[in-house]
Amino acid sequence: MTGASTGIGKATAIRLAREPATELVLVARREGLLRELAESLPCRATFVAVDLTAEDAPRCLREHLEAEHGGELQLLVNNAGAAWRAGFLEGGYANVNRHMELNFDAVVRLTEELLPLLRASSPSAIVNVASTAGRVSRARTGAYSASKFALIGWSDSLYAEERPEGVHVGLVLPGFVATEGFPAAELREKALTRWIVSKPEKVAEAIYECGPGGRAERYVPRPYALAAIARILLPSLTRRVLTGGAASDLTTTTGSE
Ligand SMILES: NC(=O)c1ccc[n+]([C@@H]2O[C@H](COP(=O)([O-])OP(=O)(O)OC[C@H]3O[C@@H](n4cnc5c(N)ncnc54)[C@H](OP(=O)(O)O)[C@@H]3O)[C@@H](O)[C@H]2O)c1
């Protein structure tokens, strides 16, 4: 479980810990938060404090799984991620690269390292936490959207390749969910928009459904799927809505800024 120190990852660890005979490996950079969570869970939980963009992070996690959990891996949840809002001219390639390194490359590198363990432990599953922003782009979120679009495209292909090997690949596409990294403060402070912001616990349930539950994908909240459908069927209208007067409210400030 990557990105387990806060938000969706922490809620998912708590959700998974309710299942019988679960053992968890919690991964993020902040060791204190991981230790605190591991000690509070009702199942066996170990942790690895690591920056997932570091060269040796995947190897380090595989070695931990082999040494502490006998190399068993039934579920990999690629959830760690972040967003740094910037227009393209302002953020440039550097901002695109920063998003790709964490939200895409780190996921691909970790999956490559752990896929042999997942195959050996099959039936098993991978859940990649993308975003509704991986279907629909807004101003100042281009770099984030690019990383999540890439993650979705790659995940669908990986599903097709790994299905015969007994490794399911599911996708979860959250919309606005109030967390440390994505506080959605602008939306939560107005009565008119507060209702569109969801909770990490709802995403945790979707992650369970798309992993052990074998579902293909889930938007959270579910009606966010309409944005993706509109993007395909009504591209001109979608562009007009996303560049209209109220559209700037939908590009919320993130915790990384
Ligand atoms: N909340 C939303 O509105 C929303 C919407 C769509 C998609 N998502 C996606 O959901 C996922 C979880 O986000 P969240 O909302 O739960 O945000 P969050 O509370 O900020 O959680 C992000 C997690 O990723 C970890 N992380 C960040 N950079 C890392 C790195 N370099 N190496 C290792 N771990 C790292 C963080 O822990 P440390 O800081 O301790 O490393 C934290 O545990 C992300 O992929 C995000 O893109 C969120």
The pLDDT of residue 111: 99
Torsion of CA 68, 70, 73, 78, to 10 degrees: 30
Ligand 1 binding pocket, CB closer than 6 Å: 3-9, 28-30, 33, 51-53, 79-82, 102, 129, 131, 174, 176-177, 179-182, 255
The yes-or-no answer on residue 10 being catalytic is no
Percentage of the chain beyond pLDDT 70 is: 98
Helix or strand holding residue 199 (H, E): none
Pairing, β 44-49 against β 75-78: unpaired
The pLDDT of residue 42: 98
At 74-87, the pLDDT tens digits run 999 999 999 999 99
Verdict on whether the full-model pTM lies above 0.75: yes
